[in-house]
Amino acid sequence: MSPRDRIRDALSRAQGEGAAIVAYLTAGYPDPERFFAAFEAVARVSDAVEIGVPFSDPMADGVTIQRSSERAIEHGVSLRWIFDELAARHLELAPPVLLMSYLNPLLVFGYEALAERSVECGISGYIVPDLPYEESGPLQEALSERGLALVQMVTPVTPAARLQALCAASEGFVYAVTRTGITGRAVSLPAEATEYLAEVKAASKLPVCAGFGVRERAQVEAIERHADGVVVGTALVEVLERGEDAAEFVRSLRPSR
């Protein structure tokens, strides 16, 4: 099975199951050792894990992820570091792992080398917040050769025709931003959000995961009726900031059954 199909299958859920959870962690945060401990623990309780590649100018992220990114860079964390550590540690990971990165570090690494190294290190796909569909051709092509996913994001301000095109182009899953804006601001689920998620679901053959702002079980339960999964990012980084148990936090989001 190709890596991108692994992502799709991991996030597709059977009737009656709770929402899948995609957990986001900034690479090397709060420090390299605690990161890997949190990463392994979180992987055991999540359906997919997103590792954030720290970048000097994270223009689509809120203050929490900016802070974690700055700290990680201070610790010497880079894309190369992530690959080398993953390769050296031989982790037995059940869920698929994606990298979330701004474009410049990927561009500098080189797309061919990136795809090759990703496969060697067990990475299944990419989320690139400053790479819209129109500009994504060259990276998508390089990843596609190795069966890796390039996940497309859609938003509440994406026009209908564009939504169709993005859902058709996405691989692994469709990342539905549930509130216009940068990551990490609190959200409840108003009617317009449920209508929007219904539109995304109707346009997509892949699982739809809603992201940005999820921090408690009630929100996960509210979203689970409208999407296949949720992305949990800022709230999880905050848990690490406070020195608390990341895996325990992810478990607390799982709907009670």
Partner 1 sequence: MHEDANEHEALLEALIAGSLPDERGRFGPFGGQYVPETLMTAVNRLSEGVRDVLPSESFQQRLEAELKSWVGRPTALTAAPRLGERWNADVWFKREDLAHTGAHKINNGIGQALLAQALGAKRVVAETGAGQHGVAAAAACARLGLPCVVYMGEVDVERQAPNVDRMHRLGATVVSVTSGDRTLRAAIDEAIRDWVSDPEGTYYLIGSAIGPHPYPLLVRELQAVIGREARVQMLEAGELPDAVFACVGGGSNAIGIFHAFLADRDIALFGIEAGGCGSALGQHSATIAAGRPGVLHGNYSMLLYDDDGQIQETHSVSAGLDYPGVGPEHSLLKLVGRVDYETASDAEALAALDECCEAEGILPALESAHALAGARRWAAKNPGRRILIGMSGRGDKDMPILARFPRSETGVDVAA
Binding site residues, partner 1, CB under 8 A: 55-60, 62-63, 66, 70, 73, 78-80, 102-109, 129-135, 152-155, 157-159, 162, 166, 177, 180-182, 185
Structure tokens at 71: 């700290």
CB of 221 to partner 1, least distance (A): 26
**C-beta closer to partner 1: residue 103 or 168:** 103
**C-beta closer to partner 1: residue 43 or 128:** 128
Give the CB-side neighbour count of residue 205, counting CA atoms within 13 A: 6
CB of 157 to partner 1, least distance (A): 5
**Whole-angstrom Cα distance, residue 48 to residue 50?**
7
Closest CA to 253 of 8, 240, 223: 223
**Could you list the active site residues?**
50, 61
| C-alpha 153, offset from chain centre | 10
Q: Quote the longest CA-to-CA distance of the chain.
A: 47
CB of 44 to partner 1, least distance (A): 30
**Cβ distance 172 to 8 under 8 Å?**
yes
CB of 191 to partner 1, least distance (A): 18
Structure tokens at 110: 């080189």
Give the CB-side neighbour count of residue 178, counting CA atoms within 13 A: 31
**Whole-angstrom Cα distance, residue 120 to residue 114?**
10
